[in-house]
Amino acid sequence: MSFLLDPPALFIIGILLYFIGNKLGLERLAKITIGLLVVIVFISFSILLYADVFRCVFPVVCNNMSASEFMFHSDITGIYKKDVPLLIVIVLFALYPVFIYLGYASALLISKPGRYSNEVYSYNDVKSRKKPVNSKYSVIRYPDIRSGINDPQNATRLAVDTLGGMKEFVKPGNKVLVKINVCGGVPDLVGTYTTKEVAGVVVDMVREAGGDPFLCDADMVWTKFWPNAKLEGWVEWAAQKNVKLVNLSETNIVNFDFGKDKIMPIEKVSKEILDANVIISIPAMKTHMMTSVTLGMKNMYGTLPEIDKARYHKIGIDEVIFMINNAFTPNLTIIDGSIGGETVGPLSCDSVDYHTIIASNDVVTADSIAAQMMGFLEPEKDIEHIRLAHESGVGDALQKFDPATLPYKHNSDGKWKRPDPQVAKFYVWSTHKFLKLPGWDTFFSIASDFFLYDMARLPILKYITPAVLQIINDVGKWFLGKNPDSPENKTRSNNNLIILSVLALLSLFGFVYGGYLMKSSLYYSLAYLASFIFAAIFATRMKTKHFVAISLASILVSFMLEFYAVRAGMWHYIDSPGLPIYAMFSTPIIVITIIGFSDFIRKVFAYVELNGSKLRMVPFIMMLLGFILFLQFENYLVKISPEVIAVYSAFILLGVYHNIKQTLDWNLAVASVSIGFGFMLEFLGASSGLWSYAYYEPLPIFLILGWTLNVWAVCGIAQVFKLNLSEAIAD
């Protein structure tokens, strides 16, 4: 890696990422993930070469140069590190993501035809636009012995009939756009997307009224229409139903004039939404992290064909929802509450078998009634997009629902687990502030849709949990003085913290007794303290059996490696030529932290898994090959003793045993986090003089890669005792 070789290499990788990614069926965000990982690896390794932290040990190309000389190819260019200002070096590294992006974009421009039109349309061109109506709604709950309604299909029919029947909305020959929720859902979690039962009966009713229906949604950053539609069963269902499915992002895209005085004056929309005579919105009934609820109005936001919606958040997500509904107001809204989604949505919902259908000729009324049933007492005040729509006259949010009209009371009536409205507003506000920073649009698209929405890429559903969003919601509550209580986990957390306290005291004893405290740098001391804090956080969330297994196995692994490696002279510590107490009891704390972060980071890699059964060993094989190669390059094979070979051989066998039983996302996560923590620990400790290596270099590369073997050995030992550390974090 060098300033001459890296740019063309990254450019070529960008091109390959596009074409090979398409060949393998990788979706856009998976490609972004891989690209970011490649850039991070290039930058990280190159920075360490530039700083002469690593020796330049590559055969042939190094030619006895130092690492920084290799970065500038001083033997060719005559340029040395001292000749180049640090600012220029920073700029060169900052350009690394640009090189891979240019390669990807070049391939994209060559292969992707344009589908955008320069035509501009206005409110007068919206065929479905009707005069304001007298708002009315109906709420049907099943099973209802009184009316004989026992399923969502009949409940939907009755809800629409109560409003006057489908013929009240659809006339013969009408083109009817039925907006369902496909891309905002997780296939194995029915409550996150519109059910086919409700959509199917709506199609039947539209046809009975003489209309021509088509079902639609649009691509999103985290999920694309066709893969999700297939996994959720829509493609097969639509073929059997003989109804057309439309991805609005693939239709003719035109410009729509929302008004010069609007925050979004001109925006691209699908021509289909302009040409539809009738718009029917059928959302799943769900909560939402940033907008509190995602119902009829939020469902229409999904008609925007733009994939990267960060700029809508920059403008104001609630304002954009309002504007879309003001321009393309649904003629009929049917909220699918047959199975809803609660907690911190929209993707990480817990299913609610709610058995309720809400219909209205007023999307604002429909959303208000549904929100009241969830537990929002004053949605016209608490939920921003409902407030905006109500105050602007798009609809009526003041109608109040009387639960006594229902045939029976559901346990969740008014008690849905949902984000606190003030927390939602806090995150909307903070998002707006961050997006004012230059260049944060792209970051937000990745951060929010990639991390905050639980990496909801399919079909790796078993890795998707609500943990991330729940933590974010809890942090918001804490920031706003609404600290969440979690008494159900107190016993387990307390037990783990007691064990961790013992380990911490032993580690601190070794740290002080061995003289590390007096010699430690401020940076190392802060990192040492941070390891305790992170370990404590993860300890409160770990299952006690797994926590104990990590602790004991880590002590064993540390003892075996440190005892024999120090004796072989591969590295040594300041306190004694033998095994340091500090290292042995610090290792469990580091490994606990690594396992905790791996459980979080694994969700990132769920995007890029293609075939877990075939690829799960790839990270292990790559790390092992790198470990062996750098042992040779860095000349440590002459230092290694038979005992150390035996120890590492045992670690390798344990690593194979663990990796072969795991999934690719977990193995990638453990490898990545282990390398990161291994580098930080080794570099800070060695630079502080707490230990040194055989050749007194700043940092051997093989040792960083060796941390993956150490952690996998811990996981393998636990696996022998039927404890899977990939499941260490309690749900």
Examine the fold and report which residue of 404, 421, 438 is the final residue of a domain before the chain moves on. Answer: 421
Is the domain of 567 the same as that of 598? yes
Closest CA to 469 of 343, 601, 603, 350: 343
Q: Look at residue 450 in the predicted model and tell me its pLDDT.
A: 41
Q: Tokens 């070789």 appear where? A: 5
Is the domain of 412 the same as that of 441? no
Q: Look at residue 494 in the predicted model and tell me its pLDDT.
A: 87
Examine the fold and report which residue of 457, 479, 501 is the final residue of a domain before the chain moves on. Answer: 479
Paired tokens of 399: 């109608």
Would you say residue 1 lies in a domain? no
pLDDT in tens, 50-77: 888 877 777 766 777 888 888 888 878 7
Would you say residue 484 lies in a domain? no
Is the domain of 306 the same as that of 415? yes
For residue 454, what pLDDT band results from cuts at 50, 70 and 90?
very low
Q: What does the pLDDT average to over 233-261?
A: 93
Closest CA to 241 of 283, 278, 199: 199
Is the domain of 85 the same as that of 157? no
In this structure, is the dihedral angle defined by the CA atoms of residues 304, 253, 439 and 597, taken in order, positive or negative? positive
- State the DSSP H helix or E strand holding residue 179, giving kind and residue range, or none if neither: strand 175-180
Would you say residue 368 lies in a domain? yes
Would you say residue 594 lies in a domain? yes
- State the DSSP H helix or E strand holding residue 531, giving kind and residue range, or none if neither: helix 522-539
What does the alpha-carbon distance between residue 418 and residue 287 come to, in Å, rounded to a whole number? 6
Can you give the C-alpha Rg of the chain in angstroms? 29
Examine the fold and report which residue of 111, 139, 156 is the final residue of a domain before the chain moves on. Answer: 111
Q: Of all residues in the chain, what percent carry a pLDDT higher than 90?
A: 42
pLDDT in tens, 466-512: 444 444 554 554 455 554 444 556 788 888 999 999 999 999 888 88
Would you say residue 669 lies in a domain? yes
Strand-pair category, 292-294 with 266-270 = unpaired
Would you say residue 697 lies in a domain? yes
Per the structure, the complete domain to which residue 321 belongs is given by 116-421
Would you say residue 693 lies in a domain? yes
Tally of structural domains, the chain: 4
pLDDT in tens, 249-302: 889 999 999 988 788 889 999 999 999 999 999 999 998 877 889 899 999 998
Would you say residue 178 lies in a domain? yes
Is the domain of 617 the same as that of 647? yes
3-state secondary structure of 102: helix
What's the 3-state SS for 640-689? CCHHHHHHHHHHHHHHHHHHCCCCHHHHHHHHHHHHHHHHHHHHHHHHCC
What does the alpha-carbon distance between residue 680 and residue 688 come to, in Å, rounded to a whole number? 12
Is the domain of 581 the same as that of 654? yes
CATH code for the domain in which residue 242 is found:
3.40.50.11440
Is the domain of 470 the same as that of 578? no
Q: What does the pLDDT average to over 445-456?
A: 43
Q: Look at residue 470 in the predicted model and tell me its pLDDT.
A: 47
Q: Look at residue 243 in the predicted model and tell me its pLDDT.
A: 96
- State the DSSP H helix or E strand holding residue 311, giving kind and residue range, or none if neither: helix 310-315
Is the domain of 96 the same as that of 234? no
Q: What does the pLDDT average to over 197-225?
A: 90
What does the alpha-carbon distance between residue 428 and residue 433 come to, in Å, rounded to a whole number? 9
Average pLDDT of the chain, as a whole number? 83
- State the DSSP H helix or E strand holding residue 301, giving kind and residue range, or none if neither: helix 296-301
Q: Of all residues in the chain, what percent carry a pLDDT higher than 70?
A: 82
pLDDT in tens, 98-137: 888 788 877 765 664 446 778 899 999 999 998 777 999 9
pTM above 0.75, yes or no: no
Paired tokens of 704: 């960083």
Is the domain of 275 the same as that of 341? yes
Is the domain of 398 the same as that of 532? no
Q: Look at residue 420 in the predicted model and tell me its pLDDT.
A: 60
Residue 574 has pLDDT above 60, yes or no: yes
Q: Look at residue 66 in the predicted model and tell me its pLDDT.
A: 85
Is the domain of 447 the same as that of 498? no
pLDDT in tens, 347-361: 556 778 899 999 999
Q: What ranges make up the beta strands (E) of 206-291?
A: 212-217, 244-247, 253-257, 266-270, 278-282, 284-288
Q: Look at residue 697 in the predicted model and tell me its pLDDT.
A: 84
Q: What does the pLDDT average to over 316-326?
A: 91
Is the domain of 644 the same as that of 501? yes
What does the alpha-carbon distance between residue 538 and residue 597 come to, in Å, rounded to a whole number? 8
Q: What does the pLDDT average to over 27-32?
A: 65
What does the alpha-carbon distance between residue 602 and residue 589 come to, in Å, rounded to a whole number? 20
Whether 356 contacts 413, CB under 8 Å: no
Q: What's the one-letter identity of residue 303?
A: T
